[in-house]
A = this chain, B = another copy of it.
């Protein structure tokens, strides 16, 4: 269920991180449920173990998961509504919007784009 866009500018480990957060928020992975093992994911996605490891390391640093060496990586309870993730997302979005404004994008164009994206699915 995790899809990697190898052409994207977004680092692969970020894509993994984002999609796992998405899956957790969607309820696919429940609190205290074990995530797929790093090695299994790396194999499935045809990626190096360290790339996946980096994604999991960031997830743990953000308080989304916890790991038990020798056992696996698990979803932290309350991870689905992690404020830290939302805040960082908003912080990252701000300069993008500011830049779009400076380049002449009109406010309505942005709002329309957002509506379009949020209506998907």
Q: Are B97 and A117 in contact (CB under 8 A)?
A: yes
Copies in the complex: 4
Main secondary structure of the interface of A (DSSP, over half): helix
The interface of chain A, by Cβ under 8 A from chain B, is 6-10, 18-19, 21-22, 25, 58, 61, 66, 68-69, 71, 80-82, 85-86, 88-90, 92-105, 107, 109-111, 113-115, 117-118
B contact residues around A109 at 8 Å (CB): 86, 90
20 more CB-based (< 8 A) A-B contacts, given A22-B103, A90-B110, A107-B118: A6-B68, A7-B66, A10-B99, A21-B102, A22-B102, A25-B104, A58-B61, A61-B61, A82-B104, A88-B103, A89-B104, A90-B100, A92-B100, A93-B96, A93-B110, A94-B113, A96-B96, A97-B117, A101-B117, A107-B115
